[in-house]
């Protein structure tokens, strides 16, 4: 079975949603930490998973948008192309 960009993009979006839901569930668990280091580690991991979820979501949306460039994908890709041009001209 051959994977195309659209299928990989949908998998990335699904993984992003699952990570975000898991992180939200952890934030409702109100644990008591025995020391500050464990509290800091838990907060750092929550931040890392938030960043990972956001990165997977952006990557998945861009992969799916490239598959639908002719219809709605142009609206998603237009700011990306503008930012790429800004980086090329600005540097």
- pLDDT at 3 (0 to 100): 64
Q: Per-block average pLDDT, block size 10, for the chain (91 residues)?
A: 75 89 70 80 86 89 83 80 81 59
HEC string for 19-67:
HHHHHHHHHHCCCCCCCHHHHHHHHHHHHHHHHHHHHHHHHHHHHHHHH
In the chain, the number of structural domains is: 1
- pLDDT at 1 (0 to 100): 38
- Provide the domain limits for residue 23: 5-90
What is the pTM assigned to this prediction? 0.71
């Amino acid at each position: 079975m051959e994977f195309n960009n659209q299928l990989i993009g949908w998998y990335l979006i699904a993984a992003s949603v699952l990570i975000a839901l898991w992180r939200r569930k952890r934030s409702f668990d109100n644990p008591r930490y025995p020391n500050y280091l464990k509290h800091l580690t838990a907060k750092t991991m929550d931040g890392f998973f938030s960043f990972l979820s956001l990165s997977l979501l952006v990557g998945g949306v861009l992969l799916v948008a490239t598959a639908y460039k002719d219809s709605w994908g142009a609206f998603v890709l237009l700011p990306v192309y503008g930012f790429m041009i800004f980086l090329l001209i600005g540097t």
